Structure 1
Amino acid sequence: MSSIVVQAFITLDGVVQGGGGPDEDREGGFDLGGWSMDYDRENDTLNEAGAIIEDWESRTEALLLGRKTYDIFAGSWGVWDENAEGFMGELTRRYNRIPKYVASRSLTDTSWKNTHLLGPDVPEAVAKLRDEPGGEIRVWGSTQLIRTLAEHDLIDEYRLVFYPIVLGTGKKLFPEGFPVSRLALVECRALASGVVVSTYRRS
């Protein structure tokens, strides 16, 4: 059996939008992109967060993405140089090799290698994937997809990297109306930078 694992960089007010760069996701007029990368650059001198993400990603056996996140990933990891040094090249090679499962009714360009559309019944398709032997199926971004998965009790674990930042605007991981979810804290680690990394599993 595989496990569905949601990973997110998240502010204290629950925002997960556009942490990676100023143009990563400007939907809704969001103009605060790059907040997590900027914070790490200024404060994570030990690269603790980077080491944690590297460990997590070494376990990724598939990606499960919504349409918008898939477009972001395909336009970055899907075209970056696999021969780049260090973690960048390693993760690019991994993301190109593993299957990508996408929830979309309108996507037509699946040219990023090993991309598969989930079809019209996303919960059923994900349940079948989860029942198959394998490792961790990673979910990044994809807030609408995460809500759908939570509605059908298909999320096994949340790995949340909390930044001591309040943005006051942006897409939230757990917005108003999110399904009731009971979780157990299994790990919590405070980094020297002030970031707190917490792992929750279904209780």
Structure 2
Amino acid sequence: MGSIVVQTFLTLDGVAQAPGATDEDGDGGFEHGGWQWGYDDEDTVRAWETRTSALLLGRRTYEIFANSWGVWDESAEGFQGELTRLYNRIPKYVASNTLGEVGWQNSYLLGPDVPAAVRRLREEAEGEIRVWGSTRLIRTLAEHDLVDEYRMMVYPLVLGTGKRLFGDGFPLSRLALVETRGLASGIVVSTYRRAEAS
């Protein structure tokens, strides 16, 4: 049986919107895209990704990933090449009400009943099914008690605006702290699991 693992970059005020690039997600007039760059987080992400057996993504995150990892050169040196090779080879499962097809290799639409599809996926999979970004999908998964673990990197930064991972109306979720540690840059890395699963 697989496990659904949410990994996310957050600011101190809980913003998860557009950490990776200036043009990643400007919804709501968000002007702080790319806020995550310049911190010492690569080793942590690299360690996390060695356990990834599949990606589970919402439409927008899927499109961002497909237009970056899906087209970048697999022979690139370092971290970018490593993740490009990994992401091209593992299955990608996409929750979308609007996409009719997905073009990135090894990508599959989940269909109209996302919770049921994710339950089946978790039953049939081995290893960690990674969720990046995809705040609407994460909320749906939490509403159906389908998130096994949250891995969060909290950056020493307050933006004051933007989409939050745990926004208003997020379902009650009791979690147990499994691990926490600080990085030299001030990032705090914490892992939480469902309280009854710890």
Alignment TM class, shorter chain as reference: over 0.9
The percent of aligned pairs where both chains have the same amino acid is 69
Between the aligned partners of 1:166 and 1:72, the Cα distance in structure 2 is 24
- Give secondary structure in 1 for the equivalent of 2:86: helix
2:120: which partner in 1? 128
Q: 1:133 offset after TM fit, Å?
A: 3.8
Partner of 2:84: 92
Deviation at 1:108, TM superposition (A): 2.8
Corresponding letter in the other structure for 1:84: A
| Distance in 1 separating the partners of 2:61 and 2:101 | 14
Q: What are the ranges of 5 or more consecutive residues in structure 2 without an aligned counterpart?
A: none
- Where 2:36 maps in the other structure, the secondary structure is helix
Deviation string 1:154-202 (CA, Å, 9 cap, x unpaired) is: 0000000001111111110000010000000000001111110000001
TM-score after normalising by structure 1:
0.94
Normalised by the length of structure 2, the TM-score is 0.96
**Following TM superposition, by how much is the alpha carbon of 1:28 offset from its aligned partner in structure 2, in angstroms?**
1.6
Letter in 2 for 1:37: W
Q: Larger deviation: 25-34 or 113-122?
A: 25-34
Matches within 5 A, 1:20-59: 20-38=20-38, 40=39, 44=40, 49-59=41-51
Aligned residue identity for 2:22: P
Q: How far off is 1:27 after superposition?
A: 1.5
Distance in 2 between residues matched to 1:187 and 1:170, nearest whole Å = 27
Counterpart mapping for 1:129-148 below 5 A: 129-148=121-140
Is the contact made by 2:22 and 2:32 (CA closer than 8 Å) also made in structure 1? yes
Tell me the matched-pair count: 195
Answer yes or no: is 1:174 the counterpart of 2:177. Answer: no
RMSD across aligned C-alpha pairs, in angstroms? Answer: 0.8
Q: Does residue 9 in structure 1 map to residue 9 in structure 2? A: yes
Partner of 2:59: 67
Amino acid in structure 1 at the alignment position of 2:96: S
Which residue pairs with 1:184 in the alignment? 176
1:75 & 1:184 partners in 2: Cα distance?
A: 36
CA distance in 1, matches of 2:42, 2:183: 11
How far the C-alpha of 1:29 sits from its partner, in A, is 1.2
